[in-house]
Structure formats: C-alpha cells, structure tokens
C-alpha cells in the first residue's frame, strides 16, 4: 500500500443556538465551527479520513493527519481504531453536556432538559460575574436534582487564585463534581493554590496539550484530573500516552471536545472505549453541538452514552455532497 494523494478541505458547520441566540462562554461567542477535513488516498483504493478541529496550530493539523492514517490502517487491517489503541475496556463512553452563558433560569432549564435526555453530567460554563455564576450553579443544581453530576467550567475566566477561591467555595454548597481550568494555562502554581483552599477537585484542561504538559501538571500538583483532547494532543497516540502517564500518577482523565464534527467525535469515542484511565464522564459528543454533520450515517449517541461506530478504521463515511456544500461559510 502506498499513499498516492492527500486532499484537505476547509469546512464550516453552524453551531446550535442556545436560548435562541449564539452560544457564548468565557472564550467568547461560538456561531460557526471552521475545521479541516483530510483525505489520504492509496494505490489500493482505500481512503483514510481525518478531521482538524482548527487550522490555527501545527499540533491540531498533525492530529487530523494522524487520524486519517489511523482510519486508513484500520481499514487495511480490517480492525476498528480502538483495537489499534489496545482494545475495548468498555462498550461505550459516558458523556457530559455543556451549558453556555445565559440567564441563570435559562441555564437551569437547559441543564434539566439534557438530563431528561439521559446525560448524567452537565457542565455549567461560568465567567459572567461571580453573583450570576453562583446563582446559575444553584439553579442548575435545583433543576437537575441531587443525583445528577454538576461540573463547573471556568474556561480560564478567573485571573488569580485569590479571585477564584471565594467563588468556588460559594459554589461548593451545590455539590460540584469538578471545577475545570480556573486560571490561565501556565498558572500552575495558582491552580495548586486553589486546590489547597477548596474542597472540590480541580481539573486541568487548557493547561494540557500533550504528555509533557500533563507531566508538569502532575509534578506541580496543579490538578486532580486531566481533560485530554485528541486535537490538542496532536493525535490519538499522544492522547493515549497522556492517559497512561496520568494513570501512573493516579490522576484520572476524561476526553474533551473543541467541539468536533462526526469524524473527530468518532476518534474521541474510539479513544474513550480503549483507555482504562477514563475516570469521569467525557465531552466526546461535539457533533451534538452542531445543527448538522458530514457523515452519511450518524454516530450512535443516546441516553448520555456514545458508542464507537461498527466497522474497520473509524467506522465512518463522509457525505461528499455535504462536504461540498460546507466549503462555503453559512449565511
């Protein structure tokens, strides 16, 4: 088998609108996802497909290329990608769902709706202002009840540990499972300080772009859990290494999403069913944050769980007509 051609496309998919308007978080508004699609063709007639979650960084581009190669090798060997990563350790990946910025009562209703759809974990985006954030967390907890998991995602919204600690302490009354990325990526000493002064576990997200970052987070005592991205890691192999490294340090991991379309989401699901150190519900459902997708057959995501597609490689097939349409930004 020889590679004969590599094709890349830039595609644009509209995000679902929450509360009748463009979804917002501490990272800003999110109306359209601009991603790259990779097709690697061979002389045997087999084509591997991959997805680049963004076009702005070389690690993310490498992840898309590597994803297509995993798909290609899996197809040639007649094996699903999860077998190339070590084999199944679970049948499906348990999922969380994010609640974007809104009025606290809107966010509460949104969270309750997702739990009725089967999600066991909802993630409250914070970073509007302390009073509104605390009220949103309180109302979401009331809306979802005591048996569902509530996670807080700051997306680096707080400037210092001194600013973050009193807000997190006020939220602790509502039983949060984790607080995700309270400070900027390199503020690891500040994150360690937050850990020492709050009861809720701290999760590193934007601080970890690969195994070396994860090792530094562990060394500095900056987090109790690590969110692992296929895209940010530079591919499935590096993401799997981060899982293994954190397992040695007794730090559980979960899977993050940027969010990807169906190809990238499928890769995340394959990773999730093959990693023993998956300690929390994951964000591996980025496809649900978009109005439509590029796949001929939708991924199986139901009841708050995601299953890997059947078949060799990633097990997904592109809808080429949709790929053609999506090369123009939506109006």
Q: CA 154 from chain center: how many Å? A: 15
- The residue among 60, 117, 115 whose CA lies nearest residue 239 is 60
Domain that holds residue 218: 84-307
For helices 130-144 and 161-171, angle between their N-to-C axes, nearest 10 degrees? 30
At residue 328, the pLDDT reads 93
| 313 is a domain residue | no
Same domain, 95 and 191: yes
Give me the mean pLDDT over the 2-6 stretch: 96
Same domain, 300 and 164: yes
Cβ(60)–Cβ(54) under 8 Å?
yes
| CA 155 – CA 124 distance, rounded (Å) | 11
**pLDDT tens by residue, 280-298:** 999 999 999 999 999 999 9
Number of domains in the chain: 2
Cβ(179)–Cβ(200) under 8 Å?
yes
At residue 1, the pLDDT reads 86
**pLDDT tens by residue, 214-225:** 999 999 999 999
**Residue 139 — φ and ψ, nearest 5°?**
-70, -35
Same domain, 144 and 290: yes
In this structure, how many other beta carbons lie within 10 angstroms of the beta carbon of residue 319? 16
Q: Is the whole-model pTM more than 0.85?
A: yes
Confidence of residue 322 (pLDDT cuts 50, 70, 90): very high
**pLDDT tens by residue, 214-261:** 999 999 999 999 999 999 999 999 999 999 999 999 999 999 999 999
Same domain, 72 and 88: no
**Residue 300 — φ and ψ, nearest 5°?**
-85, 100
Based on its alpha-carbon atoms, the radius of gyration of the chain, rounded to whole angstroms, reads: 19
Write the CATH number for 22. 3.30.390.10
| 20 is a domain residue | yes
Mean model confidence pLDDT for the chain: 96
| 331 is a domain residue | no
């Amino acid at each position: 088998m020889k590679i004969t051609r590599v094709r890349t496309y830039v595609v644009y998919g509209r995000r679902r609108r929450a509360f009748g308007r463009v979804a917002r978080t501490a990272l800003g508004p999110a109306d359209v996802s601009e991603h790259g699609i990779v097709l690697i063709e061979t002389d045997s007639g087999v084509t591997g497909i991959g997805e680049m979650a963004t076009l702005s960084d070389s690690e993310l581009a490498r992840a898309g290329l590597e994803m297509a190669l995993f798909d290609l090798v899996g197809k040639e060997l007649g094996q699903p990608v999860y077998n190339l990563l070590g084999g199944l350790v679970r049948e499906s990946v348990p999922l969380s769902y994010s609640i974007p910025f809104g009025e606290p009562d809107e966010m509460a209703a949104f969270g309750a709706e997702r739990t009725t759809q089967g999600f066991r974990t909802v993630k409250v985006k914070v970073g509007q202002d302390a009073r509104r954030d605390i009220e949103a967390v309180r109302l979401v907890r009331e809306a979802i009840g005591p048996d569902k998991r509530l996670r807080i995602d700051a997306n680096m919204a707080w400037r210092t540990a001194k600013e973050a600690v009193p807000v997190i302490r006020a939220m602790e009354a509502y039983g949060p499972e984790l607080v995700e990325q309270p400070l900027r990526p390199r503020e690891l000493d500040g994150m360690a300080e937050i850990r020492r002064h709050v009861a809720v576990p701290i999760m590193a997200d934007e601080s970890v772009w690969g195994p070396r970052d994860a090792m530094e987070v562990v060394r500095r005592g900056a987090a109790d859990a690590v969110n692992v991205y296929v895209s940010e890691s530079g591919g499935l192999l590096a993401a799997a290494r981060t899982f293994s490294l954190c397992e040695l340090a007794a730090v559980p991991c979960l899977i993050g999403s940027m969010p990807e379309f169906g190809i990238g989401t499928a890769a995340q699901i394959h990773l999730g069913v093959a990693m023993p150190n998956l300690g929390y519900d994951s964000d591996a459902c980025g496809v649900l944050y978009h109005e439509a997708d590029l796949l001929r057959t939708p991924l199986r995501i139901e009841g708050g769980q995601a299953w890997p597609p059947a078949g060799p490689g990633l097990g997904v097939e592109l809808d080429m007509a949709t790929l053609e349409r999506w090369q123009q930004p939506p109006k």
